[in-house]
Amino acid sequence: MNGNRREVLVRAGIFAFFAAAGMGTLARRSAASESQVVKVVAQRFQFTPSEIALKSGRPVVLEITSLDFIHGFNIPALGIRTNLLPGPPTRVAIKALAPGRYDFLCDNFCGSGHEEMNGTIVVSD
């Protein structure tokens, strides 16, 4: 291999490396800004899943389907609450969160197990 050809290959390799790195960054940026969608079911007297694991720095949309009652969905620490009408899912958009635990609960009295109808969003790094 002569010198010119070696130089071209090295330059191409460097370009390919940075291109790939750039693509990766773009991909990561895209993933980070794109909302993750998590499906949740609300049914007397529990949310399924009751623990929702998320990564920090990425927004999420909870698609919550109530099967049997106008449950409430309240995350007091975030000031987010809505009613969950039975039927099509209710979409709850949550901005990117810092690591931590965020409790949520049903705040519409729904019967004898209402006090246990709650859960936690666990956000990790």
Partner 1 sequence: MIDRRRFLQLAAVGGGAVFASALPGSLRAAGYEEFFFVQLSDAHWGYSGPANPEADTTLRKAVASVNALEIQPDFIVFTGDLTHTTDDSAERRRRMTEFRGIVGGLKVKDVRFMPGEHDASLDSGAAYKELFGETHYSFDHKGVHFVAIDNVSDPGANVGEAQLQWLKADLAKLKKSTPIVVFTHRPLFDLAPAWDWATRDGAKVIDILMPYANVTVFYGHIHQEHHQQTGHIAHHSAKSLIFPLPAPLSQPKRTPLPWDPAQPNKGLGFREVEAEVNDARYKIAEFQVTKA
Residues at the interface with partner 1 (CB under 8 A): 70, 72, 74, 76-77, 83, 103, 105, 107-112, 114-116, 118
Q: Which residues contact 49 (CB under 8 A, 6 or more apart)?
A: 40, 119
Dist. CA 5–CA 7, nearest whole Å: 5
CB closer to partner 1, 54 vs 69: 69
CB closer to partner 1, 34 vs 51: 51
Q: Shortest CA distance to 113 belongs to which of 64, 51, 41, 47?
A: 47
CB closer to partner 1, 63 vs 107: 107
Q: Are 96 and 59 in contact (CB under 8 A)?
A: yes
CB of 112 to partner 1, least distance (A): 5
Q: H or E element: which one contains 32?
A: helix 3-33
CB of 87 to partner 1, least distance (A): 18
CB of 118 to partner 1, least distance (A): 7
